[in-house]
Amino acid sequence: MKLNISKFVWFDGKFTTLEKATVPITTHAIHYGTSIFEGIRAYWNSENLNIFRLEDHIKRFRRSGQFYSIALNYSDGQIFDAMINLCKKNNMKRSCYIRPFYFVGNYGINLHVNYMAPTHVAAFMFPFGDLFDKNGITAGISSWRKFSDASTPALAKMGGNYLNSILATQECKRAGYDEAILLDMNSNVSEAPGENIFAVKGEVLVTPPLGSSALEGITRESVMEIAEDFGYDVKEETITRGQIYLADEIFLTGTAAEITPITSIDGKPIGAGRPGKITKKIMAAYTDIVMGKNDSYSMWLTPVY
């Protein structure tokens, strides 16, 4: 995927150009995956650019590093202001994706990472539309399992964690599917490589619990609240492989994917083989919210201009 990355980036507290934001080959994160990142969406509605759930993303941003004792040497307020000013600096007036991250710098080959290790923080952005076809995608269940807390914290949004996602994605693409689904170590549904998953049965929405190695997704949480406000029953419950095939509807949630329907898994149609009515209802509500058309959720939006 070719990205039209913004001219200006934020690097260690200052704005610079993309070409000047460089790091040495001895950077610890390059060798050991000691990086933390967030994906944040901002939406242009012809009047303003609104960043979606910025404060929540920043809270998770800091929390992820705490699992590994990696310091984020800027306050939440400084990160908050930096994301807004990055949009302004680039005069961004299109819907876009913002990628803040921090990482361990020159630290030799020392694996004893602690809060004294040198870290850097940066952010860039780019215009962004749909990641997947909103009319529905195909998925295949990967033979690779989602790692568990027995090996590494599944709640940490770490760069190194996504090697697992890369393997699952490669496998599903070779098989001709649009996206993968990972099972946890107990053979229950966990999530997709970069998204949470919801199954709809009747009027009930079910999503795997965090104990199934699912990320505590911000879009996941948003959808749970939206669905409950519509009066649907929303449950965090274990989903077996067999149960996922029998769902009436399935959709993915994530910052990049937003809400994406799955129309088949392993070649088996889900429901009628097209986006279901509940999925479409939540998709429409989500779009209205991020575009600033629903005042009931205005607290989720941070205006840039």
Confidence at 3, pLDDT banded by 50, 70, 90: confident
Which helix (H) or strand (E) segment is 75 a member of?
A: none
In the predicted structure, residue 180 carries a pLDDT above the cut 70: yes
* H-helix segments, the chain: 28-32, 54-66, 76-89, 163-174, 218-229, 241-245, 277-290
3-state helix, strand, coil in the chain (%, to 5): 30, 30, 40
Q: Which of 7, 134, 157, 268 is flagged as catalytic?
A: 157
27-75 pLDDT, tens per residue? 999 999 999 999 999 999 999 999 999 999 999 999 999 999 999 999 9
pTM: 0.96
Number of domain units in the chain: 2
pLDDT of residue 1: 65
**83 with 159, same domain?**
no
**110 with 161, same domain?**
no
Of the residues 127, 157, 182, the one at which a domain ends: 127
**159 with 91, same domain?**
no
In a domain? residue 296: no
**46 with 97, same domain?**
yes
Listing DSSP states for 202-266 in one string gives TTEEEE--GGGT----HHHHHHHHHHHHTT-EEEE---BHHHHHT-SEEEEEETTTEEEEEEEET
157 flagged as catalytic: yes
Of the residues 72, 94, 127, the one at which a domain ends: 127
Q: Do residues 152 and 161 lie in contact, with contact meaning Cβ atoms separated by under 8 Å?
A: yes
**36 with 75, same domain?**
yes
Of the residues 102, 127, 152, the one at which a domain ends: 127
Residue 17, strand partner residues: 8
113-155 pLDDT, tens per residue? 999 999 999 999 999 999 999 999 999 999 999 999 999 999 9
**121 with 167, same domain?**
no
In a domain? residue 145: yes
Domain of 61 in residue numbering reads as: 8-127
pLDDT of residue 2: 72
In a domain? residue 192: yes
What percentage of the chain reaches a pLDDT higher than 70? 100
CATH code for the domain in which residue 88 is found: 3.30.470.10
**110 with 160, same domain?**
no
